[in-house]
Structure 1
Amino acid sequence: MVPLNVEFYSDRDLYLAYMPFLNEGGVFVRTPRQYDLGDEVELHILLPDALEESIVQGEVCWLTPVGAQNGTPPGVGVTFVKDPEKVRHQIEQIIARHLNSSEPTLTM
């Protein structure tokens, strides 16, 4: 399983990366590294104001290649497969005030 590190500095950064349309939740991770759909990854996530990172096992479910239209940064969407620390719940609490925003995210 490939380790993938991601740090969110603000609520807004987290909102832009969160993928609420995935059944178990997930996040978009900016990276120029090439992945394939279905690749298993171990996400090391540092949420805003957190002192320690959380670890979630996930699977690549979205690809944005280098040079994508609309200037979207390259990266991968990762759906949560094993989330023992309930990171999805933590994310939704942090970004609750943004969830009804019309601001486009990095995936939709």
Structure 2
Amino acid sequence: MASGKGVKESESSYVHLRAHRRRELSSQIVVRRVKESGTSGVFFGYAKMIGYGGMFVASVSPKSVGEEVELLFEAPDGSGELHCNAVVVWQREFESGFKVEPGMGVKFIDLDEKVRKEIDDWVMRK
């Protein structure tokens, strides 16, 4: 179930809410660290979709909507490691019989504008 909505929703129902185009990744990017602000806990997941404003991180234990997290992940074009803070804007927990992956949508908070543009250019090349 997607938090904040109170009803079951599929991945496709979120598409109309996005401000920027996203691109599904042909190979998953390992998100090496998703750290909650003010904690020492570390969480791992896989980025499955990325865009100018954020990404979808597949995880069996997604963080709660509104939580700020620190991200460390490989750039989609393989050019290096990226680090930024993000906020969880939606999450979907595992439900048996639900055909979409559990995880969370995160919005980048402080990703450098040049890096955002590079991600956007990469998305548009699809």
Structure 2: how far apart are the matches of 1:51 and 1:28?
20
Deviation by residue 1:1-29 (Cα, 9 ceiling, x = unmatched): 52555666xxxx5xxx1356xxxx11010
Deviation by residue 1:49-101 (Cα, 9 ceiling, x = unmatched): 42421011100001111127751111011001111364322221112133xxx
The higher relative CO (CA closer than 8 Å, separation ≥ 6) is in 1
Structure 2: how far apart are the matches of 1:93 and 1:54?
16
Aligned mate of 2:82, from 30, 54, 59: 54
Contact 1:45 1:54 in 2 (8 A): yes
Please give the secondary structure, in 2, of the residue aligned with 1:32. coil
- Which runs of no fewer than 5 residues in structure 2 stay unpaired? 1-34, 37-41
The higher radius of gyration belongs to: 2
TM-score, with length taken from structure 1:
0.64
Structure-2 change in CA distance of 1:68 and 1:47 (3 Å)? farther
Q: What corresponds to 1:104 in structure 2?
A: none
Aligned mate of 2:56, from 28, 32, 39: 28
Please give the secondary structure, in 1, of the residue aligned with 2:62. coil
Please give the secondary structure, in 2, of the residue aligned with 1:72. coil
Structure 1 residue 71 corresponds to structure 2 residue 99: yes
Structure 2: how far apart are the matches of 1:43 and 1:80?
9
What is the root-mean-square deviation in Å for CA atoms of aligned residues?
2.7
* Amino acid of the structure 2 residue aligned with 1:80: F
Deviation by residue 1:29-58 (Cα, 9 ceiling, x = unmatched): 011113111111111121234242101110
Structure-2 change in CA distance of 1:27 and 1:78 (3 Å)? same
Aligned length: 87
Structure 1: how far apart are the matches of 2:61 and 2:55?
16
* Greater Cα offset, 42-51 or 72-81: 42-51
Percent identity between the two aligned chains:
29
Please give the secondary structure, in 2, of the residue aligned with 1:95. helix
Please give the secondary structure, in 1, of the residue aligned with 2:125. helix
Higher helix share: 1
Q: What corresponds to 1:18 in structure 2?
A: 50
Higher strand share: 2
